[in-house]
Structure 1
Amino acid sequence: MSISKDQANKAASVNLDDDEPFRPGAPAAARPPRTAPGQLMDLQGKYRDAQAAIERLEKGGNAMELPLSRIIRVPGRQRPLTADERAELKVNLDVNPLIHPVVVLPETEDGYELFSGYNRVELYEELGRSTILAVVRDVPADRVEVLAFYANLLAPSLPDFKKYEGLKARQVETGFTLGQLSEESGMSTSSISRLLKFETLPHEAIQVLEKNPFILGATAAENLAKATEAGRGNLVIEAVIKLAEARLLNTANNKTPRFTEDNAVAHANGVKPAAAKATPLPPMVVKQGKSHFAKLVVRGDQVTIKFSNATTSAGEWAGKFESFMKSELVKMSELD
């Protein structure tokens, strides 16, 4: 077995930040699938296996109440949560005892390095707790970072931008080619190549994404990268800023964002997105007693009136409509 495959197998056995309910599943297939759906199922299987593995870590041995002040957090290991996921977890931790302890590495002079449970530790601090239930596990020093990276990479909810950051950091650390990253991670080279397109976005856009990693997926990022290469970097920056603003506004109002990834790509390419077609109004029927007198149909800026009786004087009614509209315009001018 090659070193890279050995690392991949070990990475699939640990989930660094399992702040979700555990759903142990069947082992992942030994031979990497070739199709996109097969690769997705394979990664999902690896993630379930990772959850089961860390559950075993947490259950084994004696847990202890560890002071939060003694826990050392390493930047880059915390799996980001959406606002809804974070709020749900915080409420859960506030009202329920911690069933699964966090995992720390053996104590050093500086304290205990946190291996699993970054979101739980952070939320415990916000809740005003001073200690958290923890177990100590000895993980080989040369395996901590690679296990941490791939455990997070396999999380289904990890945004594409964070996957890019992790893959890029891994590539810089190891000097791996796309093929080697693919062999190690189980992801296709095309998926990795698409994720790495984030790198070609303008620096200002990257800064926005660092603070708002959920707003842009890899496919849209690839299209924005093409716009950047075509010399439309300023439009790309504007598009990413608009995405962040739309998410912030609509999260506050609990609404679906109006400025979408498709809008962002269109903006970056200088194309005005097609306006949504207005929902046509149903015909309005005017009755005289029980009989239909006329039907009004609205199409855009036109109102069509069709009288049911051919003997009705259309010209006479046109004069009445004219008089009515003039009187309404007078009322409107008085209000101004």
Structure 2
Amino acid sequence: MVTNKLKDRLLSRTSNLAEKVDAAVANRPADAPARANTMPAQLGAFRLEAREYQERIQKLTDELEQARKAGGAMDVPLADLHEVPGRRRHKSPEEFAELRENLRNNKLIHPVAIRARLEGGFEIVSGHWRTDAYRELGRATIRCVLDEGSEDEATVGAFYANLLQSDLTDYEKYLGFKDIHRRFPDATHTSMADSAGVSRAAVTKLMSFEHLPQPVLEILQARPSLLTANYGLELARLTREGKAERVVEAVNQLAAGKIDQTQAVKFASADPVKARPVTNAQTVKIKAGRSVYCSMRTASKVLRLEFQSEEDAQAVQEELRALLERRAEIVKTAQSSESEK
């Protein structure tokens, strides 16, 4: 049985309910779309929304094409821009912050190059960091130009354009040439060098990164500027010679800041220091009564005598030399007899 207090609370919450519903219906805009309640209706609404999105993208594409032919660009919503892996070049957090602040206060000089996607929207050909900066600045659109090349041409073109940038690391250049070889398996070092406008030796040196151990490549993926191609070539050679573990350790120390690149190559080149067998030294004390006359210490092939006085050491020296000379003669005679057999 409901108590009086609970009953009053329920009545207060539902009082004037009919009037509130009528007011909400009356205040709803006349053109507000009704929400689909059934599965077929929801599917139809989704298809309509997708068609409208495709029509909007097609309209933007047509306008971009007209702008391209006229030698200009146009603003495109940032929400319609998508990144394709492998086209973005490395930029440090400091460099990105500098770019963002520059774009906060200055006009965008170089528009973002984009291509229309089959699934809708546009893929970024070049200008990823400019797009990121605009997003962080809260901008809704960014100036773009339409690129009419194929997907492979867009990716390869973006790489070759970035190749001319002085801040592109050797490891990033290697990743670019590796991607080109994946897209065009028949490409040789010579053909890639000709397309890039560099020497074949330069491409071969860059491609030596692929021979480094996997742990090293993982480090370079996070820190691409850690190792240049010259030293990468040497470490790759050492890896092929069976010193992969030394190469990994060397790069770990390089990443930790303990050594530089030259020292890393030297470290990887050196053979591991073998532990010397530990020999237990023995000490014998020769006494004259209760006092120690001489301490004799032996360790492997070393014999050390220590007397209490310099006079005793000099006195024994002649006797010890005569003893050693007699021992040497005995050894000499034994060796002569052995050679005559």
TM (norm. structure 2) is: 0.54
1:265 aligned partner, one-letter code? V
1:219 aligned partner, one-letter code? N
Going from structure 1 to structure 2, the CA distance change for 1:183 and 1:133 (only over 3 Å counts) comes to closer
Going from structure 1 to structure 2, the CA distance change for 1:169 and 1:116 (only over 3 Å counts) comes to closer
Q: CA–CA distance in 1 between the matches of 2:181 and 2:148?
A: 26
How far 1:157 sits from its partner (Å)? Answer: 1.7
Do structure 1's residue 165 and structure 2's residue 175 form an aligned pair? yes
RMSD of Structure 2 on Structure 1 (CA): 2.7
Do structure 1's residue 99 and structure 2's residue 109 form an aligned pair? yes
- Taking CA–CA contacts closer than 8 Å with sequence separation of 6 or more, which of the two structures ends up with the larger relative contact order? 1
Give 1:214's match in structure 2, choosing from 185, 202, 225: 225
**Counterpart position of 2:197:** 186
How far 1:108 sits from its partner (Å)? Answer: 4.9
How far 1:119 sits from its partner (Å)? Answer: 1.0
Do structure 1's residue 124 and structure 2's residue 173 form an aligned pair? no
Going from structure 1 to structure 2, the CA distance change for 1:119 and 1:219 (only over 3 Å counts) comes to same
**Counterpart position of 1:135:** 145
Which deviations, in whole Å up to 9, do the C-alpha atoms of 1:111-140 show, x marking residues without a partner? 012122111112222333333222334334
Q: CA–CA distance in 2 between the matches of 1:116 and 1:157?
A: 16
Q: Give the match's secondary structure for 1:105.
A: strand
TM (norm. structure 1) is: 0.55
Going from structure 1 to structure 2, the CA distance change for 1:269 and 1:191 (only over 3 Å counts) comes to same
Q: CA–CA distance in 2 between the matches of 1:222 and 1:185?
A: 20
Q: CA–CA distance in 1 between the matches of 2:250 and 2:70?
A: 47
Unaligned runs of 5+ in 1: 1-56, 247-257, 273-336
Give 2:79's match in structure 1, choosing from 64, 69, 80: 69
**1:159–1:217: 8 Å Cα contact kept in structure 2?**
yes
Q: CA–CA distance in 2 between the matches of 1:59 and 1:99?
A: 17
Q: CA–CA distance in 2 between the matches of 1:137 and 1:229?
A: 42
Quick check: which has more Rg, 1 or 2?
A: 2
Going from structure 1 to structure 2, the CA distance change for 1:129 and 1:172 (only over 3 Å counts) comes to same
Unaligned runs of 5+ in 2: 1-67, 273-341
Aligned-pair identity in percent equals: 37
Q: Give the match's secondary structure for 2:138.
A: coil
**Counterpart position of 1:266:** 266
How far 1:167 sits from its partner (Å)? Answer: 1.0
**Counterpart position of 2:254:** 243
**1:59–1:100: 8 Å Cα contact kept in structure 2?**
no
1:129 aligned partner, one-letter code? R
How far 1:150 sits from its partner (Å)? Answer: 1.6
1:231 aligned partner, one-letter code? G
**1:220–1:262: 8 Å Cα contact kept in structure 2?**
yes
Q: CA–CA distance in 1 between the matches of 2:232 and 2:266?
A: 12
2:146 aligned partner, one-letter code? V
**2:86–2:155: 8 Å Cα contact kept in structure 1?**
no
Q: CA–CA distance in 2 between the matches of 1:162 and 1:201?
A: 15
- How many residues are treated as equivalent by the alignment? 205
